[in-house]
Structures are given as structure tokens and as C-alpha cells.
Chains A and B, each alone.
Chain A
Amino acid sequence: DAGITQSPRYKITETGRQVTLMCHQTWSHSYMFWYRQDLGHGLRLIYYSAAADITDKGEVPDGYVVSRSKTENFPLTLESATRSQTSVYFCASSGGAWETQYFGPGTRLLVL
């Protein structure tokens, strides 16, 4: 029972490079979410998806792109990484509106 996984767990990159963070869930949950966690801000929603091929912006979407061609995968791409995108990124999924969100272990990203 893998649940929800994220890869890589740690990533170091340079400014201007493209980076893709992967998220995979095995529950066939409809809803998936990407958050970033920064000290003093808690978790802030970047993008979310209600189903395959349906995505929408969250609170802090600038500089990020998402896609969802398959229900189980929800990759997050930083098209041109900036230092301000250094953060811990969490993916989450839920089986329905207002149901519990289950979180992955996170990806720690450092942009130099």
C-alpha cells in the first residue's frame, strides 16, 4: 500500500533551470493538490486538480505549471527556477470534496 509518493525527496538546482517534481498516488483519488511550506507561512496552495485534465490555480501559482493527464499523477514544474522557490513542496490527495487530504512526504528544493 504505497499511498502517495513524491520524487525526488531532495533536489538542488540553479536559477533559470527547469525542475519537475513528481507526485503519484495509488488510491485513485479525484482531487490532488500542491503546497509549498515556508517558515512562518504554514502551507500555501500552489495548484490543485479536481480530476484528470482539470487544474486550477491556488494562492501562489506564479512560476509554476501543472498537468494531470492521468488520475494518479500530478507533476509540478518550475519553468525557470528562482531562489524564492526554495522551499519544501508537498503533494496531497483526497477522495472527494471536503474529505481528508492525505499528504506525501515532501520534496525539499534548494535553488542556488
Chain B
Amino acid sequence: AQSVTQLGSHVSVSEGALVLLRCNYSSSVPPYLFWYVQYPNQGLQLLLKYTSAATLVKGINGFEAEFKKSETSFHLTKPSAHMSDAAEYFCAVSVGDYKLSFGAGTTVTVRA
């Protein structure tokens, strides 16, 4: 079975600083990988997804993620944090079927 590990349950960054959220997955077959964002009291919204095309994936709101097979990683980055980026972020993996396995989530706080 596939699984996802998000390193760090909480990340605090200054406004304008780099945002880096780490995600590692385990899978014996090529995965489909996703990053979702959840704002307070809302559902999840897709940020970006990797489906075996380009290894560097660009998403909404200036986020991007790079698929590294050798490291089984799919880390999410944004060069310059904005106050509106404060939210919870989830990495998810799907391998060969349409079900998703989610990581435990990382809460991002942005300091003014």
C-alpha cells in the first residue's frame, strides 16, 4: 500500500520568505502526486498535481513542486510567502487507482 509522510506538522515563515513543505511517499509503482490546501473552515482545494509528465509542476498561487523519483519526494515550494498563504497543506498519493492517501498535513503560519 502507498503512504505519504509530511515532515513537520507546523511551519512558520516570515512574509516574503521561502516556503518549503516536505513530502515523501512510498510506492512500488509510479505514483500520481497531489498537493491540496485547506483554508480555515473550508474544504480542500487542489494546488497542483504530478501525473508523470514534467517533474517540475507549477500550480496556483505561485506554488510549485518537484517530483524526485530517486528521493521518493514531492516537496512544495513558494519563493515568497504572503499572508494569504496561511493554511493547512496536504500531500496525497494515488497509485494505479482513483483513491487518495493523504499525509497528516502541515500548518503554515506567516509572520508579518
- Chain A interfacial positions (CB closer than 8 Å to B): 4, 31, 33, 35, 40-45, 48, 50, 58, 90, 92, 94, 96-106
Q: Is the CB of A105 within 8 A of B94?
A: no
B49 CB–A CB distance under 8 Å: yes
Q: Is the CB of A97 within 8 A of B98?
A: yes
Chain B interfacial residues counted at CB < 8 A: 26
B20 CB–A CB distance under 8 Å: no
Residues of A within 8 A of B100 (CB): 33, 43, 45, 101
A47 vs chain B, min Cβ distance (A): 11
Pair count A-B, CB < 8 A: 57
Dominant SS among interface residues on chain A: strand
Residues of A within 8 A of B104 (CB): 40-42
Partner of B43 from the list A41, A94, A96, A106 (CB cut-off 8 Å) is A106
Residues of B within 8 A of A104 (CB): 43
B44 CB–A CB distance under 8 Å: yes
Q: Is the CB of A42 within 8 A of B43?
A: no
* Interface pairs (15), CB distance under 8 Å: A31-B98, A42-B4, A42-B102, A42-B104, A43-B44, A43-B90, A45-B99, A45-B101, A58-B99, A94-B98, A96-B98, A100-B46, A101-B46, A103-B36, A106-B41
**Smallest Cβ-Cβ distance to B96: which chain A residue:** A98
